[in-house]
Structure 1
Amino acid sequence: MFFAVPTAALLWFATNKHLAIWGTGDSFIGSQGFWLIIGCFAFVSLFLPKLFPELLGKVWRGIIKGEQWL
């Protein structure tokens, strides 16, 4: 669970960065989106603890591939 908050923050910032570049002027994921991501990570970590490290690994690999591609 320690890595869930930084991962959620990175996803939120990266998504908003790309929305600011390619989206319309009012494209932005607010703080509710950030809390939704944290809530999803918390749900998975509490109820599916064996899946959680695999999920975070896939998210981080996706972030790295996405940033290299863009």
Structure 2
Amino acid sequence: MKATIDRFEEDLAVLIVRGEVPTVLHIPVWLLPEDCKEGDILDICISKDVEGTEAAKKRVSDLIEKLKKKSKD
């Protein structure tokens, strides 16, 4: 996905995402590569963390089981 840095507002960068309908994103400046400036085009990649998701599901499931056992005591 391509986005253009439109402007900076305090600690946020305002990005315009290209597409049929342009979309505006506000992201923290610290997420940008160093030396970015208005007008720069960014390549943005978002990916799903499958392992992290599964680990979180397991933690929640384990907590629920622990609570169920505790309520039976």
Same fold (TM over 0.5): no
| TM-score, with length taken from structure 2 | 0.30
Q: Choose 1 or 2 for highest CA Rg.
A: 2
Q: Which structure's relative contact order is higher, taking Cα pairs within 8 Å and 6+ residues apart?
A: 1
Q: Could you say which structure has the higher helix fraction? A: 1
- Write 1 or 2 for the structure with the bigger share of strand: 2
